[in-house]
Amino acid sequence: MRVCLVCQNIDCKSRGSEQLMKEFQKRVAARGLTDVEVKPYMCFGACQEGPNIVLYPEKNWYAAVKVEDLDEITDHLAGGPHVQRLDTIDSALKELIYQLLDTGIL
């Protein structure tokens, strides 16, 4: 199963991450992507650039995501291109968080 983690900590929630996650779940379901689960995630430590969506295990991180970006991200999940303009997080932070995700601890 592939997962799309949508951060739900305080700052990202104030930027609409809860609504974003619900909308994303609808679009993934509408596209029939049955191998993808859209789930909440506590935080990725990049709240100022949130809401953040991390695709795992692919390890793609999209920052400052808006509802209008979701179709492109859904396309990516369905085999379409990477959404380069939303890939803005610095690589060192990505690596640290991916390592955290690899442990499955949180």
Partner 1 sequence: MVKISSFDDWIQYFREWQNDIGYDPTLLGNYNFETKLGDLHSAEIEFGDFKGQRKWERVGQIPNQSIRDALMNLIIYQGDTEFASVEQQRNLLDTTPTEYDRQALVRVNSEEMRHGWQMCYLLVNYFGDSGKLEARKLLERRAFRGDRLLGSFNAPVNNWLDFFTYTEFVDRDGKYQLTMLSHSAFAPLAESVTAMLKEEFFHMFTGHTGLTRILRAGKIPVAIVQKYFNKWLSTAYDLFGTDHSSSANWAYVWGLKGRFDEDEAKIPAEKDKLNDLARNHYIVECAKLIDQLNALVPQGQPKLYAPDLKFNRSIGEHVGKTYSVTGELLSADAYKKHVTQVLPTAEDEQLLSEIIKSKDWVAQMQIKS
Residue 103 in contact with partner 1, rule: CB under 8 A:
yes
Residue with tokens 């999940």: 77
DSSP code of 22?
H
Q: Which span (18-26, 43-51, 66-74, 79-87) binds partner 1, by CB under 8 A?
A: 43-51
Residue 43 in contact with partner 1, rule: CB under 8 A:
yes
Measured between alpha carbons, how far is 14 from 51 in angstroms, rounded to an integer? 9
> Contacting partner 1 (CB under 8 A), which of 4, 47, 53, 70?
47
Size of the site for partner 1 (CB under 8 A): 20
Q: Which span (6-14, 20-28, 54-62, 76-84) binds partner 1, by CB under 8 A?
A: 6-14
DSSP code of 57?
T
Q: Which two tokens stand for residue 78?
A: 């369905």
Task: Name the residue nearer to partner 1 (CB basis): 28 or 62.
Answer: 62
Give the angle subtended at the CA of 12 by the CAs of 19 and 59, to the nearest 5°.
90
Q: Give the interface with partner 1 as residue ranges (CB under 8 A).
A: 9-11, 42-49, 92-93, 96, 99-100, 102-103, 105-106
